[in-house]
Chains A and B, each alone.
Chain A
């Protein structure tokens, strides 16, 4: 059975998202990481718009626009501003082992595809084959948060996890109800502001944004 053009574009976007997730996993430089995050948002927005076009779900155009504004423009702009003001623009993460991380990442993708397989069978949407990729993106972002020891990359991982979840919502169900989507966007935005304040507090107390200083609270 031939896949229609829109379906092919969506599959292309899905594979791009997975690729970007792996790129983020292996990116040591903070600045490039933020750019990758913006790119991920852009691909997400395009794929949402294509889903909207092919399925005639008009509220998805709105989600696509929301994604474009929030995740391609606003959040990366805030992050850029933050790293400039915190002077961590050229920071490079040194501690983690890229090959091992990538191998674990591949294992996670296989796991995600297996987990999503029974659900994808039931999805009636044009995008059903992408649910596995969405879950893989979520798990890869999770892995990224675990492997990083600096505050900004952890937050980028957190935001990209939200991107993966959003992709899951559009690919499995044509998007959540509007009121919920707006609420989630609001939470993400407020969360970002709070984190911004938080970074400055952390730096004032520790003189750095390296989270390895913050391992004092442990059970003896």
Chain B
């Protein structure tokens, strides 16, 4: 029942916004629908806390410790982003960048995007997971090209083609998975249900499954933004509207990584070796190193933080690849804190770019003078994402690094050098943007800064104190992933 509510609310929202998206109150309805989704997700969470994991609808959906916290996180970030997009999109409209019809498209697709994310998380069927991931791409393509500028169209085209090709590889992987599983589970719907696959994973033919995993990793890895298939990510983040950048970084990348980890669990069971983990560590490490060196060459602020997302996704992939209780726990924690911090940064960056009239970093100066709250939001968010204590990112990165040092000492020089380069690149630039002289003008509508500080407060809390039930979930999920 709760699952149905979680899924139907954003779908209904999408329909409502398609019909009434041009009305005056559209941003408010959008926020209300997102809030209702959050409420439904909270109800689902409460049920999982009290009753444990369960299946629904003839096992088509299932909820366990691993996906329930991602559902809650997705619904939460989707809600705060809808709060942020209310003034942000008004200001964009005021500046004449968007028309009423474009806004209708934005609100409607925003809700549909939330729906596809939640469907991908809740479904038990690896095939439907694929369908939902592809649906998420389709819902966001027109959002990336919302401004209809040549650059945004190019970014959206690249996004569509690269992710489309990538996800086609994942479909081939899913077909191979079905092919291998069908021999044990029999033809029909059950052979793609994750819970059934997980139960028989030790009997599945290992050669087919290892090939399937390669395709799945490349396919979903494209959407995670893993190097060398990351090209779409900085373009899509920089050229799309800022709320879309925030949900792409905060939610879509997480859900794609979730798909990879679900596949890894099956493959690990079937192969009994560390092949899947090694592949993930390799791609993860490559992404971390590559992204950190591109970071220092960026001029556009949203592009820079997009590369930072690649770096962090690489770090998480590396952590899940290492496996073991500490690294997996850290990977899950890092998913949570990165998603919260990065979306908070995008909120702040979005308003900063609106004030300065440019996304180029050399044009953004002295935020702390014209709007101290915004300036502090960006400064604190940046400190958090760079892994400064006491924020939660520090905790998870520390756990990942210590495990890496213990088990894979050869990776340390790469990781430390990459993190150091990233720190220098981002910190130096953000300092100039926050302090310094300014000529920025006032915004026509008051900016939404509550979501920024709400996110940062949560990240701070996770750095100092993880609530017992959350820690219990992480531990259960860790036991599940192994």
Contact = CB atoms under 8 A, between A and B. Distances in A.
B165 interface: yes
Nearest to A158: B164
B128 A183 contact: yes
Contacts of B164: 158, 191
B172 A168 contact: yes
B171 A165 contact: yes
A62 to B, nearest CB: 14
B125 A179 contact: yes
Nearest to B187: A174
A85 to B, nearest CB: 18
Given A122-B205, A173-B182, A142 B165 contact: yes
Interface in A126-173: 135, 138, 142, 145, 151, 154, 158, 161-162, 165, 168-169, 172-173
Contacts of A69: none
Contact of B153 (A154, A169, A191, A201): A201
A60 to B, nearest CB: 11
A198 B142 CA distance: 8
Interface stretch (B188-196, B252-260, B276-284): B188-196
B148 interface: yes
A125 B256 CA distance: 32
Given A194-B138, A198-B142, A219 B297 contact: yes
Interface in B281-302: 294, 297
A180 interface: yes
Contact of B192 (A177, A198, A202, A211): A177
Nearest to B134: A187
A44 to B, nearest CB: 15
A36 B472 CA distance: 56
A118 to B, nearest CB: 6
A187 B138 contact: yes
Contacts of A115: 211
Contacts, number: 132
A145 B138 contact: no
Interface residues of A, number: 50
Contacts of B168: 138, 158, 161-162, 165
A20 B412 CA distance: 51
A37 B125 CA distance: 30
A173 B161 contact: no
A173 B178 contact: yes
A51 to B, nearest CB: 13
Interface string A180-220: 10011011001100110110011011100001011111011
Q: Is the interface of A mostly helix, strand, loop or mixed?
A: helix
A177 B142 contact: no
Contact of B176 (A119, A154, A187): A119
Contact of A180 (B128, B141, B153, B294): B128
Nearest to B307: A219
B150 interface: yes
Q: Is the interface of B mostly helix, strand, loop or mixed?
A: helix
B242 interface: no
Nearest to A165: B171
Contacts of B178: 169, 173, 176-177
A123 interface: yes
Nearest to A191: B138
Nearest to A131: B179
Contact of B127 (A135, A172, A179): A179
A151 B157 CA distance: 9
Given A145-B165, A176-B175, A201-B153, A219 B148 contact: no
Interface in A98-118: 115, 118
A150 B294 CA distance: 29
A191 B127 CA distance: 17
Contacts of B135: 187, 190
Interface in B106-162: 125, 127-128, 130-131, 134-135, 138, 141-142, 145, 148-151, 153-158, 160-161
A19 B158 CA distance: 29
B142 A190 contact: no
A216 B150 contact: yes
A17 to B, nearest CB: 16
A177 B189 contact: yes
A184 B176 contact: no
B192 A216 contact: no
B127 A119 contact: no
A190 B157 CA distance: 16
A180 B60 CA distance: 11
Nearest to A57: B187
Contact of A194 (B141, B150, B176): B141
Counting chain A CB atoms within 10 Å of each CB, which of B142, B149, B150 scores highest?
B150
Contacts of A197: 142
B153 A202 contact: yes
A211 B160 CA distance: 13
B397 interface: no
Nearest to B126: A180
Nearest to A173: B179
B300 to A, nearest CB: 10
A83 to B, nearest CB: 18
B127 A183 contact: yes
B268 interface: no
25 contacts: A57-B187, A138-B172, A142-B165, A145-B161, A161-B168, A165-B168, A165-B172, A168-B172, A168-B175, A172-B176, A173-B179, A176-B174, A177-B178, A177-B191, A180-B192, A186-B131, A191-B164, A194-B138, A201-B148, A201-B153, A204-B148, A205-B149, A206-B150, A214-B153, A214-B157
List the 6 closest pairs (A to B, CB-CB), nearest first: A180-B127, A183-B131, A214-B154, A177-B189, A187-B134, A172-B179
Interface of B: 60, 125, 127-128, 130-131, 134-135, 138, 141-142, 145, 148-151, 153-158, 160-161, 164-165, 168, 171-172, 174-176, 178-179, 182-183, 187-189, 191-192, 205, 207-208, 211, 235, 239, 294, 297
Given A173-B178, A214-B150, 20 more contacts: A119-B179, A119-B207, A158-B161, A165-B171, A173-B179, A173-B182, A176-B127, A176-B178, A179-B60, A179-B189, A183-B127, A183-B130, A184-B130, A184-B131, A191-B164, A201-B153, A206-B150, A217-B154, A217-B235, A220-B297
